[in-house]
Amino acid sequence: MKKIYIILVLLLAAIPFFSCTSDATTTEPMLIIKFKFDPNQARLNNLGQPAAVAAGNAAQSPIFNTISSHYVEMAPTATTQLGNGTILYHAPETTAGGTNAIDFSKAKIVAEGETFLKIPLKDVLAGTYQWMRVSLSYQNYQIAVRASNGTDYTGNLASFVGFNTYITTFNIGNYPFTVNANRAQGYWAFGLNGFNYSNSGQAAAGATTVPNPISSTSPIPAGSCVVTGKFANDLVIDGTETNDVVITLSLSINNSFEWHEVNADGKYEPSAGENVVDMGLRGLVPTYTK
């Protein structure tokens, strides 16, 4: 009987210890940002107005692999100047190539739906936000090309659309590219799938489209790639959130790869001397879930 009593005492003594321990973990609410690529979204110009492909040019909607951003900001109103909103992200920069540039070796590159940014909501300034600004810096996508014999192929293209990018080396598929220098907005490199062919080039200065519907009240610097888009419903951060806030940045890739035609057939033919003229994203539609 004494033995049973001792066992009961030990069990009762253990109850408070176990009752204070739980398998449940408290998760901190986060602000999460992801990208989406939409070939059916409106195709916009620099002023955020619908735009057709320029006369004498042709374009295609590429199949996106990955993307990177240099800068992310939430703006309360259309008059909030660039840099005066809530800055969520600013990628590393370097002067290794001479002038200040994005450090491509440290770029965060993600696919569609993959988390690009995740920060605690407690670190985000409370407020009401109407606009998102995203400075895009790098795109990697598949395009169709036509050879001189009339055969169509596919290949992957790396597109550097940031204001200035310091690049050491990078690969497009099995094709290595060594730069070790700065490259201005519009630098690109291409590798053909399944064949031994690669190439690189530079689009003209100022040719990259960067839609900003509020350019009259909140302009962006020339040569930057700060694409601007408005929430359909204002995003309110009040500091009492208990769930994650997930922002999806839907980018228009509607005929976003554009070239000047030599043969007017709607096919990109580098062998015919057709040159890339524009690789800018064609609009931003931000949405959120709470």
Quote the CA–CA distance of 61 and 65 in Å, as a whole number: 13
Residues across the chain: 290
Residues 56 and 259: their CA atoms lie apart, in Å, by 9
State the pLDDT at residue 78.
98
- 104 contacts 219 by C-beta, under 8 angstroms: no
Tell me what pLDDT residue 275 has. 92
Q: How much is the pLDDT for 240?
A: 93
288 and 231 Cβ atoms separated by less than 8 Å? yes
Q: How far apart are CA 205 and CA 181, in angstroms?
A: 17
Q: What pLDDT score does 30 carry?
A: 98
pLDDT of 3: 42
Report pTM: 0.89
Which pLDDT tens digits describe the chain residue by residue (290 residues)? 444 344 433 333 443 433 344 444 558 999 999 999 999 999 999 999 999 999 999 999 999 999 999 999 999 999 999 999 999 999 999 999 999 999 999 999 999 999 999 999 999 999 999 999 999 999 999 999 998 889 999 999 999 999 999 999 999 988 999 999 999 999 999 999 988 889 999 999 999 999 999 999 999 998 899 999 999 999 999 999 999 999 999 999 999 999 999 999 999 998 899 999 999 999 999 999 99
Within 13 Å and on the Cβ side, how many CA atoms surround 122? 4
d(CA 33, CA 15): 44
DSSP assignment of 199-256, as one string?
EEEEPPTT-S----TTTTTS---TT--EEEEEEEEEEEE-S---S-EEEEEEEE-TT-
Which pLDDT score, from 0 to 100, does residue 26 have?
59
Domain ranges of the chain: 37-289
What does residue 270 show for φ and ψ, rounded to 5 degrees? Answer: -55, -35
